[in-house]
Structure formats: C-alpha cells, structure tokens
Structure 1
Amino acid sequence: MTADNLVIGGMAAFSTVDYPQHLAATLFLQGCPWRCHYCHNPHLIPLKTDDEKVTWQQVKHHLEGRQGLLDAVVFSGGEPTIQKALLPALKQTREMSFRNGLHTGAPHLDLLKPLLPWLDWVGLDIKAMPSDYEAVTTSRYSGPESWAAIEALQKANVDFECRMTWHGGLHGPEQIMGVGQCLADRGVDRFAVQVARSDQMLNEQIGTGCISRNDRDTVRLALTPIFASMELRE
C-alpha cells in the first residue's frame, strides 16, 4: 500500500481554519463507516468513487510548490483513518517538512494509534456521550473507541482539540454541557462546539435544528470557565 492508493474526494489548496494558527492545504478523503444525520459531506461517505477528483501525485505537485508558504497538510473526510494509504501519505508530507493535521471521529482506535507518531495536531470529533452515539451516527457501539482516543492522544503527546457538532434536533443544551464537563474531567484543554450546517445534510428529515440565542449563550457561559480554550463556532 502506497500513498498513491489514497482516494481523495477533494482538496482545499489553502485554508486558514482547518489547523489552528497555521496555513494548511486540506485533503478530503473518501469513506466513512458512520451515517451521521447532520453530515454535510455525504458525497464523501462511499469509499469508492467513479470520479477520481484528485490524485496523490497532483497533491504532491501542489505541496512541492508551496514549501515555505504553507505550514501544514490536514487530512479530513469522510473518515480518513479508514484508508490504509493514509500512513504512507503522512510519512511523505512529514518528509516534505509539513506539519500533519487530522480530522477524525476515531471510529476504530487500532487504526488511529499507528498514525500518532506522524501527527502534529488532531481535531477529534466527539458526537455525544458514549452511550448516545448511535442516535447520531446510526452505528451501534460507535462511542467507546472515540472517547478512548482522548487518552491515546494524551499519552502520545499529540496536540489536539475536541469538537462537537450541535444540532438542536439531536442535542439540547444540557447534553452539550454534559459532554463538555466530561471532557474537562478527562483533562481536555480545548473544546469547540460547532453549530450544524443545515444547508446540506444526509438526513434532512431531522430538520434544521435551530438553536436559540439563549441556549447558545447558556452553553458558552457554562463551558468557557472549565477549558483553556472554548469556542462556539456558528
């Protein structure tokens, strides 16, 4: 398996938001084992695609021309950890002197652990409390390994933030605050709550999930004091 086997659904050549405080190129990898109701990239769920939009060689060519201009490469998805070609790709970008970032829900801890020595920063998607994952992902037993990834990242000394998508039809403010408190209790320093985008969702039957300004303010005020960094991203 080589990096050339990476199935890439798209690329953002320049991003200021995918890796905190760094300029990055972001790759959106195909494939995800979950079917989250609010998923706004449903076209990335299938692992295989008839239309190969971006090849690894095209990515390398782009990065070679941006050395010294970009700081990092972020591998997003979909769920990038399910692709075996991710590890050789991380090794190549590290050899090119780029920082490596990863966006993951960590559905399988054994797929994440071999990547840790090659990662500089991780955005870990936490969907809910472990027992409530199925209501979001529609996949049974999908919570415990994601939460176990927190300790794995801490032990590997990989910089990370936890983030949670908030859809008003799936989570009330009490649930968001409960997840935040549990993360803080586990030593998480940075937490970001992202309001779900309703313009394109896998399951439109859940509605827009509007969240009142009062609920947003309640969550922000409750969680800000318990984290070194807490953001409500709207």
Structure 2
Amino acid sequence: MMEQELLRIFNEKREPMGTAPREEIHRQGYWHETFHCWFAKEEKGKIFLYFQLRSANKKDYPDMLDITAAGHLLADESVSDGTREVEEEIGIKLMFSELKLLDIIDYSVTAGELRDNEIAHVFLYPFHGTSSDFVLQKEEVSGIYRTELAAFKELIEGIRKDIVIDGFEEDSGDNRCVKQMTAGMERFVPHEDSYYKRVLELIEQKMAGVL
C-alpha cells in the first residue's frame, strides 16, 4: 500500500493542529501550508509573468494555467524545501536565497468536493533564462506560457476579457511546440481575485526595487 502524504494542519488562527493526509485535508477543509513561486522577467522595461499549463491528466484543474511552480509543504518540510517543487515541476534548480518573499497569504478555493484552505508562502523568482531552460514533469505540467504583467492585471480587473499569451507545450514524446493562445479568466486556476491582485502588486514593487 502506498504511504499517504501527510501535511501539517492549522486552525484559522494559524495554530498547529497536527497532521493529516492530503485527501482528508481537501475533503474537510483544513488549513495547510503551500509554496508558491512566481517567475517574472523584465524585458525592455516590461515585466512578464510565467504560467505553467497543468497537465490534462491532473485531478484538479486539468489543462488550466497556474502559478509558475507551486505545491504542498509536507509535514517534515520547512518553507525552504519548497524549492524542490520548482525543480520537480519545471526543471529549474535554484537556491532558496535567490527567492524574494512576497507575502504569506491565507485564501480559500471551493470546487466540487474540493475545499482548499491554504496558508500560501508566496515567493518571486526574478528569471533571467529562456524557454529552453524549462524541463517539464509531464505528469504535472504540459507547457509554459508567459504574458505581460500589465495585461494580466487588466484581465483580473475586468478591463480586458482576454489576453494573448505566448509559450510552448510538449507532448508525451517530448516534442516541443511553440504556441500562442488567447486566454480569458476561465483558462486560469480560480485563485481568489484578491490573491492575484495582491501578488501582482508585490511583484511590481519587487521588480522595481521598491521593497
């Protein structure tokens, strides 16, 4: 029998309550810790955000655009161990010291039987590489796309109905295809608007050297 993945659980005051398996956590709606890493790159005075395209085989939010790399922190892990998610999902090996803490954000998403209450440790990674640096974990990620932060911000605020995003996707045979698509909010994982707005504001400030 496969060993169940245990996560630390908390009450609404962020007080520890022990541990529980991931499936039970999402079923009961326990608060738990996650690690979010946003890649952003500055080019010619513009900031670009990178999104992963979740695999079509994922149980939750298949074939939707999401945070560059993110995952749950296991019961025996510290926040710095979250960098393993980046290397596992998109093949970028980085040091925790290279990340910039944006915030620790509590937020909730309910979708069907999923009750996802997260204490999200949210980080920025100023990316200086190219698309060829990404090595995707096929079971989790099927592509990488990027768009201007300003455009995505207007999408969140309802100023635009959709935006153009550029990137690539890979098939099961590791064949990489450059793509461009028009995406509305329905293509993005439904994190709370307040989460997106807060993160974008902080990324702009960090990239400008304000924080």
TM-score range, shorter chain: under 0.3
TM-score for the superposition, normalised by structure 2: 0.28
Query: Which structure is richer in relative contact order (CA contacts within 8 A, separation 6 or more)?
Result: 2
Larger strand percent: 2
Larger helix percent: 1
